[in-house]
């Protein structure tokens, strides 16, 4: 057992973590969760934790899912049996599935150890304290507890939806890019150009469905986009029909501009972006040195090809460690293009580390996760230095140019 942090007016939290250094990181994250104050006790094993739970009443227990002395299922059962506290699991960043399994087993929530953020941890703490308040009140306790549990389950479902969407968005980024390259290569060859166009449209529809999935479960990071309203309505009708049932009929009226009292204009972009190097040419950024960091090989390969063909000097890395090693051989880095959520080191930490050596470096973040997960503190500026996956190659190149010239 290690010493705790005492505050007699605070909520009482027990941190069960076998690694003392990791326990200190958890405490540091708790200290940033406003507006709460905590009285924190520590235990490095289940025996010491049971002794503390027998002696004191805790509102929250943060439990390491990787305790070395017993399986996590047994740990959850033993901790849950010793009081009405809320159990929040601490799972490794690359094993989020364990956190979801723990919630199904009986834990109340989970957070990821390697990417603790005050917004994510604060949300879990608020749910836990709301649960404690409900348990302490006698009137309508059962109904209110059920509502709180359902709300918590919906949040977990939202987390799962965001994770699934992230994987699909990574896959779609590579497929959409390859389809766009294919379409350009067979533009003058029928019927293959028609096939390529149909493939691109199908992938665009798949990307829309992943965005709808995230938007339904929680707010995603969105930005202003030029929309083909006819295509958007046609794409939404099957989704609405499936949600509302076949008995609901839709009558879509397509009005001409002169029939609308409040007039407006929609300016559509050109179909293709051309430049001095062909379809992917750039103007004014040639010879810029770009470091691309992306753990998905198909996306990394696509970015290297398109950026190189556009005149950029591109170096690629598969994770943060590879990027730091590659940067040692670069005299300068004009632009860092990095995924946000990666194993071992996330994109923001990589950006901070590289800026100590390259203070003039610009950064463009990418992610298939929604904005609340990747930017809970507002560090990523929507529409300015963040590129949501999946993206069109034209949009990616535009963001690269804008970021370099910012």
201 lies in a domain? no
Q: At what angle do helices 229-244 and 192-217 cross, to 10 degrees?
A: 60
pLDDT tens for the 406 residues of the chain, in order: 444 444 445 788 999 998 888 888 888 888 877 677 888 898 999 999 999 999 998 989 999 998 888 899 999 999 989 988 889 998 888 888 888 898 889 888 888 886 666 667 888 888 877 776 776 665 566 677 777 788 777 777 777 777 777 777 777 787 787 777 877 778 777 887 777 777 777 777 777 777 766 665 554 444 445 556 666 566 556 655 555 556 666 665 555 544 443 333 333 344 333 333 444 544 445 568 999 999 888 888 889 989 998 889 999 999 999 999 999 999 999 999 999 888 888 898 999 999 999 999 999 998 876 554 455 544 554 445 888 888 888 889 999 999 998 7
| Cβ(140)–Cβ(73) below 8 Å | no
Q: Point out the domain boundary residue: 136, 164, 191.
A: 136
Q: How far is CA 326 from CA 218, 301, 332, in A?
A: 37, 16, 11
The per-residue pLDDT for 350 is: 94
- Sequence length of the chain is 406
Helices (H) and strands (E) in the chain, counts: 13, 10
Which candidate, 157, 173, 172, places its Cα nearest to that of 216? 157
Q: Measure the CA–CA gap between 398 and 282, rounded to whole angstroms.
A: 9
The per-residue pLDDT for 248 is: 62
- Phi, then psi, of 54 in degrees rounded to 5: -70, -35
B/e letters for 366-393, b = 16+ CB within 10 Å, e = fewer, are bbbbbbbbbbbeeebeeeebbbbbbbbb
219 lies in a domain? no
Q: How far is CA 5 from CA 14, 41, 86, 113, 225, in A?
A: 10, 6, 19, 20, 49
List of long-range contacts for 249-254, beta carbons under 8 Å, 24+ apart? 254/230
5 lies in a domain? no
Q: How far is CA 52 from CA 12, 14, 58, 109, in A?
A: 11, 8, 9, 21
31 lies in a domain? yes
Give the single-character DSSP code of 270: P
The per-residue pLDDT for 213 is: 67
List the 11-16 sheet strands across, edge first: 38-43, 11-16, 60-64, 86-91, 109-112
Q: Point out the domain boundary residue: 105, 136, 167.
A: 136
173 lies in a domain? no
Q: Point out the domain boundary residue: 95, 118, 136.
A: 136
Q: Measure the CA–CA gap between 67 and 17, rounded to whole angstroms.
A: 7
- Phi, then psi, of 378 in degrees rounded to 5: 75, 15
185 lies in a domain? no
pTM (two decimals): 0.45
- DSSP-based three-state secondary structure for 367: strand
The per-residue pLDDT for 270 is: 42
326 lies in a domain? yes
Q: Which residues contact 189 (CB under 8 A, 6 or more apart)?
A: none
- Kindly report the CATH number assigned to the domain that includes residue 341: 3.40.50.2300
Bridge partners of 295, per DSSP, are: none
188 lies in a domain? no
- DSSP-based three-state secondary structure for 80: helix
Q: Measure the CA–CA gap between 376 and 232, rounded to whole angstroms.
A: 29
**Beta pairing class for 335-339 and 109-112:** unpaired
The per-residue pLDDT for 106 is: 87
The per-residue pLDDT for 175 is: 79
Give me the number of domains the chain comprises. 2
Domain range for residue 330? 289-405
Which candidate, 367, 386, 369, 388, places its Cα nearest to that of 378? 386
């Amino acid at each position: 057992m290690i010493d705790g942090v005492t505050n007699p007016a605070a909520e009482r939290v027990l941190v069960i973590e076998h690694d003392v250094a990791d326990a200190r990181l958890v405490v540091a994250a708790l200290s940033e969760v406003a507006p709460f104050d905590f009285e924190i006790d520590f235990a490095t094993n289940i025996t010491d934790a049971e002794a503390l739970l027998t002696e004191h009443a805790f509102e929250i227990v943060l439990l390491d899912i990787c305790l070395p002395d017993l399986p996590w299922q047994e740990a959850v059962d033993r901790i849950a049996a010793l009081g009405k506290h809320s159990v929040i699991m601490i799972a490794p960043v690359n094993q989020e599935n364990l956190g979801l399994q723990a919630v199904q087993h009986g834990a109340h929530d989970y957070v990821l150890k390697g990417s603790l953020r005050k917004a994510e941890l604060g949300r879990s703490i608020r749910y836990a304290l709301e649960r404690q308040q409900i348990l302490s009140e006698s009137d309508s306790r059962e109904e209110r507890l059920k509502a709180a549990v359902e709300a918590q389950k919906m949040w977990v479902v939202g987390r799962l939806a965001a994770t699934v969407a992230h994987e699909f968005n990574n896959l779609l980024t590579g497929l959409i890019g390859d389809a766009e390259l294919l379409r350009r290569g067979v533009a003058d060859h029928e019927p293959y150009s028609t096939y390529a166009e149909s493939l691109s449209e199908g992938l665009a529809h798949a990307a829309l469905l992943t965005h709808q999935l995230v938007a339904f479960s929680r707010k995603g990071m969105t930005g202003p986009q030029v929309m083909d309203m006819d295509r958007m309505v046609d794409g939404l009708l099957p989704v609405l029909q499936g949600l509302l049932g076949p008995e609901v009929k839709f009558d879509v009226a397509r009005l001409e501009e002169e029939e609308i009292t409040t007039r407006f204009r929609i300016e559509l972009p050109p179909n293709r972006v051309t430049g001095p190097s062909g379809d992917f040419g750039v103007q004014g950024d040639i010879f810029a040195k770009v470091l691309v960091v992306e753990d998905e090989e198909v996306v990394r390969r696509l970015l290297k090809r398109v950026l190189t063909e556009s005149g950029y000097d591109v170096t690629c890395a598969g994770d943060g460690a590879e990027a730091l090693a590659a940067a040692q051989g670069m005299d300068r880095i004009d632009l860092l293009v990095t995924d946000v959520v990666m194993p071992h080191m996330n994109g923001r930490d990589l950006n901070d580390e590289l800026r100590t050596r390259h203070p003039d470096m610009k950064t463009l973040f990418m992610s298939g996760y929604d904005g609340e997960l990747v930017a809970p503190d507002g560090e990523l500026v929507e529409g300015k230095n963040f590129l949501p996956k999946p993206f069109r190659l034209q949009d990616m190149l535009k963001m690269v140019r804008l970021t370099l010239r910012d």
